[in-house]
Structure 1
Amino acid sequence: MICDDGLAAANLDEVWCGPHVSDTFPPSYRLDPIVNSIVDTPALGGDEVLRRIEQRRGAVLPVHNLMAELDPQFLDLFDEMYCHTLGVDPVPADGRLSASYRELICACACAVANAPVTTIARHLRRALDLGLTEQEAIDGFHALLIPCGGLAVAAGVRAMMLLRDQAAEA
């Protein structure tokens, strides 16, 4: 398999190198994250993928709607990887990194990437709902200081403040 940069992909982990991943495989192929391979199963339509996202995550974002319209196979792959990576479905087995810490890592990565504070807060909210403590959250954001700088720490703290403000309003 050749990626957009002209390099050969030796395994599935290297397939995510181009902007049009769904063009890499025939439409009937789907990613099976459990066995880390591509399997030949019927592709889901955009509406089916949106229903699955709503069921698994509780909400569909505007970006999901556009992806469902323009490239439902990519959205299908993206959702499978998102859910597997963040521990949405399947839930991580004992001895594996818990979904709460996976979401904290995601919130920290979003803070480093200068994502909107609402995006950081969404991942942090899920982490807290899954049992992460505020102390663990602040420790995670503090750990960003040396490798990533004060702006990343401040973004994480702003997300924590947003969640507290939202809780006070509720």
Structure 2
Amino acid sequence: MTTTENTDSEALARVRAKRGYVLPVHELLDEVDPEILSRYDALASELLFADEPRALELKTRYLVLVGVATATKGDPDGIIHFARRAVAHGASRREVLEAIALAGLPAGMPAIEEATQVLHRVFDES
């Protein structure tokens, strides 16, 4: 089953209803196979949003994802999305910047330089 701009599969509709948005990765997985999207969403939901206590609070989980998105380079939308989510859950600008700076240790300074190109979309628009 493929999706169009006007018609969501049941899996994509569930993601949209649960999160209030869909990401390009959700649309891609849905187009490949809605069952893959359902399984991906179940894993992501369990890791990020599970009701039982986790060792890391939600703000910290998003800060980790900011660092990973920075270190993997080429994912400016991920940096923006995760940074906005971290801020929405109480992270300060400095905490987001530190998550990005820490990513430079394994990924190198080019990763940090790329991340700084999108930071204004997180802090200047909010």
- Give the root-mean-square deviation of aligned CA atoms: 2.0
Structure with greater Cα Rg = 1
What is the rounded CA distance, in whole Å, between the counterparts of 2:24 and 2:97 in structure 1? 29
| Correspondence 1:77-116 to 2 at 5 A | 77-85=39-47, 87-88=48-49, 90-91=50-51, 93=53, 96-116=55-75
Q: Give the conservation status (yes or no) of the 8 Å contact 1:107–1:120.
A: yes
State the match for 1:157 in structure 2. 116
Task: In structure 1, give the amino acid aligned to 2:101.
Answer: H
| Correspondence 1:63-142 to 2 at 5 A | 63-85=25-47, 87-88=48-49, 90-91=50-51, 93=53, 96-142=55-101
Structure 1 residues 67 and 143: CA distance shift in structure 2, 3 A: closer
- Where do 5+ consecutive residues of structure 1 fail to align? 1-45
Q: Specify which structure has the bigger relative contact order, considering alpha-carbon pairs within 8 angstroms and separated by 6 or more residues.
A: 2
1:77-129 deviation line (CA, Å, top 9, x unaligned): 111111222x23x2451x62011111111121111111332221011101110
Instruction: Say which structure is richer in strand.
Output: 1
State the match for 2:3 in structure 1. none
Which segments of structure 1 move beyond 3 Å, counting only runs of 4 or more? Answer: none
Report the TM-score, using the length of structure 2 for normalisation: 0.80
Equivalent residue for 2:19, pick from 49, 57, 63: 57
1:12-43 deviation line (CA, Å, top 9, x unaligned): xxxxxxxxxxxxxxxxxxxxxxxxxxxxxxxx
State the match for 1:8 in structure 2. none
Instruction: Say which structure is richer in helix.
Output: 2
Count of paired positions: 119
Task: In structure 2, give the amino acid aligned to 1:82.
Answer: A
What is the rounded CA distance, in whole Å, between the counterparts of 1:98 and 1:144 in structure 2? 20
